[in-house]
Chain A
Amino acid sequence: MKMEWIILLILLVFAAIGGVSILHQIITGFRKTNLNDHYVWGSYIQGCFFFSSIAEGILIVVASITLLNVKGMYLIAEAGCGIAFALLLAAQILLGFDLGKPSRALLMLGSKNFYSPLTWDFYTMGLTTVLSFIYLLDVLPSNPAVTGIWSLLLLVGGFLCLAAHSMFFLSRTKGGYQTNTFMGLETLLYSLLGGVSVLILTMFLFGMDISQLAGLQMIIAILLLTTAAAHKIALLNQESHAGKRLMIILNVVIIMLLGINLTFRESKAAVLFAAILSVTLVFVDKYYWVIDNQKTNTIPEPYSQFQQKGTYRPSFKEWNVLLGCLAICAFVGYSIIYLKIIL
């Protein structure tokens, strides 16, 4: 049996186990999670933002490639749409099953409250999922005007989704508003870095050329280090942000690895290791904004002096569901790329 089919089978088994975890989540509700009144959002939302952030980063790159009609990048566009579709599927599963009443999720369809970031998230994630699926079906006519409209819609959808993610992180502290000069730009850059890195890893896995993306990865990492450092400087006089320090360190390591690649030219290992670290960086970033941000009490001192601070660590069930969605994403993504590109 071919290696690819064995890998598909293994991924299918893991995806099936993941599916069972997700079904169990529907039945048991939040009883088996460690979510509480202090931490109302946890690993499911972190996972949703992680998957969708990377997906939108990939789709922004894909949309730019097709809009500008960059020659020789057809494979990147095809692989990108496949992976992004799988990631968005996983993100929407996590988002859907984090709802208290998932069966009512479609009520958002008629929503006119565009003040709510969740409304934007719903529509833009839905739009980009459909657009990436359309590309995979090969039904787009090779008419430049149609391709142009498709690319523009994808680009706008991707940017709006990331903007919603920036708005979404309404902190419960400091009055329900978290003003941060760099949040929007950082969210975009993390998304692009994660997206390009996942593309590099995917293309390497399938034996495709990664050199075109390595340079892009370097540029995004440098921009990200600049904004992350600026954000850290802005927070110097405020409470400590250990998470931010970690992210700056990770970012510096990534740039060093990419620098090695530029110097030695042939060091694929450096690029790949940088890609893995980048994806880790995005995951840590989402942890910082979704979970770490809820650590502080919403009501300021001294009024919350005796208020119990909750703690949160994902439960075994939460890890199951998160890894289950990852397995489903891997299975769907691998299947699409194998069937569409390799075969």
Chain B
Amino acid sequence: MRYGMLIDLSKCVGCNACTVACRNHNGTPAGVSLHKIMKYEVGKYPNSKMKFLPMPCMQCENAPCEKACPVGATMKRPDGIVDIIADRCIGCRGCVAACPYESRQFLWEIKNYYEQAPATLFEKKKHKSFQKGTVVKCGFCLNRVQRGQDPACVATCPSQCRLFGDLDDPNSEISKAIAAKNARPFREELETKPSVYYING
């Protein structure tokens, strides 16, 4: 089994609902986002357009971050998700430097959303799972996936531009879509073998 994602770039409107859903589900501290959307302009005025590239962690099969970690805090699970064992992370940031997708973020501080105010109940609960001085990244909402749900970003998308499923199952919806629409990963020339594919981009 290898979990993967397919994103249809022609349907992404750059609303960032996925980024907000990710932050809501994971309760990340202020300034930390496990998901991002890169926006960029193509064409020349007056025929230019804004385009959007949603970027969760690519969950690479040949993950440079796993290779860079000196203590084995980053490891690839059997289901294909690249996980971080927070209790082992020494915070060297070697994995942050190694990642070609800027998917990883170092927790310099655990900040509340309202800096001058004490932590809200939500923040108090959610921030317990974050350790200052360690690295975090998108984990495909593993706890949701284990309950049979899609990751928060997939479930939230208003234009339904994302598919999630088992890349090793040729009969899964995602595998069929990848094959039918010739989906490609981002920067595939790096040979990191990402599990996130894109079409119509």
Does A105 sit at the interface, judged by CB under 8 A? Answer: yes
Q: Which of A28-77 contact B (CB under 8 A)?
A: 29-31, 35-37, 40-41
Number of CB contacts from chain A to chain B under 8 A = 125
Does A176 sit at the interface, judged by CB under 8 A? Answer: yes
Alpha-carbon distance between A40 and B133 when the two chains are bound, in angstroms: 12
Interface flags, B109-127, vs A, CB<8A=1, else 0: 1000000000000000000
A172 touching B97, Cβ below 8 Å: yes
Q: Which residues of B contact A229 (CB under 8 A)?
A: none
Does A264 sit at the interface, judged by CB under 8 A? Answer: no
Closest residue on chain B to residue A45 by CB atoms: B93
Knowing A29-B133, A100-B133, say if A116 contacts B97 (CB, 8 Å).
no
Does B30 sit at the interface, judged by CB under 8 A? Answer: no
Question: Which of B19-27, B64-72, B146-154, B172-180 lines the interface with chain A?
Answer: B64-72
Alpha-carbon distance between A117 and B97 when the two chains are bound, in angstroms: 12
Alpha-carbon distance between A37 and B105 when the two chains are bound, in angstroms: 7
| Nearest CB in chain A: distance from B56 CB, A | 14
A175 touching B190, Cβ below 8 Å: yes
Q: Which of B119-165 contact A (CB under 8 A)?
A: 131-135
B134 touching A100, Cβ below 8 Å: yes
Alpha-carbon distance between A108 and B179 when the two chains are bound, in angstroms: 42
Interface flags, B71-89, vs A, CB<8A=1, else 0: 1100000000000000011
Knowing A100-B132, A104-B90, say if A122 contacts B105 (CB, 8 Å).
no
Does B13 sit at the interface, judged by CB under 8 A? Answer: no
Alpha-carbon distance between A100 and B110 when the two chains are bound, in angstroms: 13
B190 touching A100, Cβ below 8 Å: no
Question: Which of A83-91, A140-148, A302-310, A328-336 lines the interface with chain B?
Answer: A302-310
Closest residue on chain B to residue A109 by CB atoms: B71
Does A111 sit at the interface, judged by CB under 8 A? Answer: yes
Closest 8 CB pairs of A and B: A100-B91, A100-B133, A176-B100, A118-B70, A175-B190, A302-B40, A175-B100, A40-B93
Q: Which of A's residues lie within 8 Å of B, judged by CB?
A: 29-31, 35-37, 40-41, 98-102, 104-105, 107-108, 111-113, 115-119, 122, 170-172, 175-177, 298-307
* Contacts A30-B108, A101-B133 known; 19 new A-B pairs at CB < 8 A: A29-B132, A41-B97, A98-B92, A99-B92, A100-B90, A100-B93, A100-B107, A104-B88, A111-B70, A111-B71, A111-B72, A116-B68, A117-B68, A118-B70, A170-B64, A172-B97, A176-B97, A177-B100, A303-B53
